[in-house]
Amino acid sequence: MQSSTNLLAETIASVSPLNAAAMSEAASYQDTLAMPPESMGELLAIGRRLSGITGKLHNSLPKKRIVVLCADNGIAEEGVSSAPQSVTLAQAVNMTKGLTGMSALAKHFGNEVQVVDVGIKYDYDCPQIINKKVRAGTNSFLHGAAMSRSEALRAIEIGIELAKNAKADGVSVLGVGEMGIGNTTTSTAVLSVLTGLSPEKITGRGGCITDEMLTHKKEVIKKGIDLNKPKKNDAIDVLQKVGGLDLASMCGVFLGAASCKIPVVIDGYISIVAALCASRLCPLASCYFFPSHLSEEAGYKLAMTELSLVPYLNLRMRLGEGSGCPLAFEIMDAACVIMNEMATFQQAKINDDYLDEVRGGKPSPCAALRCATPPLET
C-alpha cells in the first residue's frame, strides 16, 4: 500500500503549469468575438483558464460535484462556538437528503454532492455518508497538538484520493465544502500561523457568537499557537498542531484536483484556508483554483489576497458547507457559453475595422481589464 508521504509527494510533483499555447489561442479567439475588447470581463478570464487546464479552445462542464469533508474539532470544547458538536453529524446527514443550504442549491442545479466523514465524533447510521474516518474528532489544541502528523497526512491523502476518484468518474469541476463545528477557530489559527498576523486582527464570529465569546475565541487561538508553536513554513505541521481533519482533507482535494487537471472551486472561509494550505505545499496548484463568493469572515480577504484571487460574488454569505460552489459553477458555465455560442464579428456580419487601431500595437484602453495570467506551460 502506498504511503501518505509518497502519495503526497507524487501528487505535488505531478501538478503541471497551465497550457500557455491553449490560453493564447483562447485569448486570440476572444478578440474575434462580436463585442468591445474584454467587455465580458471575468467570464473571459475564466474561459482562458479553462483552456489552460484542458488544452482545448471550447470547453463544457457537464458533471459537477461538491465534496463535503465532515469532522469534529476538539477546540469546540473550549466554548468558541454557539453550536454543539452534535450539529456536525446532524447537518452531515441532512446534506445527504438535500436539506441544507448547500445541498438544496446543489439539488436545484443538478450538482452531485459527496458527503465524506473524516472525523465525525458521534456514531451514526447513514449509508449515504462515505466513511473515511481518520479518528473520532481531534483534540483541543489548548492541551497539545490537534492530531498526529501521520493523521494529518492520512487526511490529506483521503482528499487526494477523492479527487482522483472524481477524475475516474468523469467529473468536470469540483467544489470543496465542509461541515465541522469549531472549524472557523481552527481555520483562523492556521491562517494566523501561515501569514504571521495576530488572531486579534483576523478572528471572526463564525456561526454568530457574542462579543464576549469572540474575545474568548481570540484568546483561545493565541494560547493554542503559543503552546504548540507550529512551523510557519510547514503547512502539514500547522494543520497537525492547530488545524482539523476537515481542513487537512480539503487541502488534499485541492491538491488532487490540480494533479488531475480538474478545475476546483473554493467556497468560503474554511475552504479558502484549506486552499491556501494546498498552495503552500504546491504553489502551482493555485492555477486550478476558482473563487466563488466573498465570505463575511474577517480573515477571508487576507487569504484571497494570499492566493491572488478575487471572488466572483458578494452576497454577504457566510454559511460554508460548499454553498458558494453551485453558484460559481453557473458562472463557469456562463464562461463556457461565451466561448462556445457567441458569434464572431465575421459570423455576425460586422466589420470590425474600427478596432484596428487598438489591435495594431497601440495600448488598448481596455488592456488593464485583462486578468493576470497564472504560471504557464512553456
Cell numbers given for 157? 491523502
Q: Which of 157, 321, 330, 377 is catalytic?
A: 321
Cell numbers given for 48? 482562458
Pick the closest to residue 258 from 11, 21, 6, 2 (CA basis): 11
Pick the closest to residue 277 from 290, 286, 264, 268 (CA basis): 286
* Dihedral pair phi/psi, residue 269, rounded to 5°: -65, -50
Whole-angstrom CA distances from 301 to 90, 114, 172, 239 are 30, 27, 27, 20
10 is an active site residue: no
Amino acid letter for position 171: V
Please state, in angstroms and rounded to a whole number, the distance separating the CA atoms of residues 116 and 137. 14
Alpha carbons within 13 angstroms on the beta-carbon side of residue 305 total 7
Residues serving a catalytic function are 321
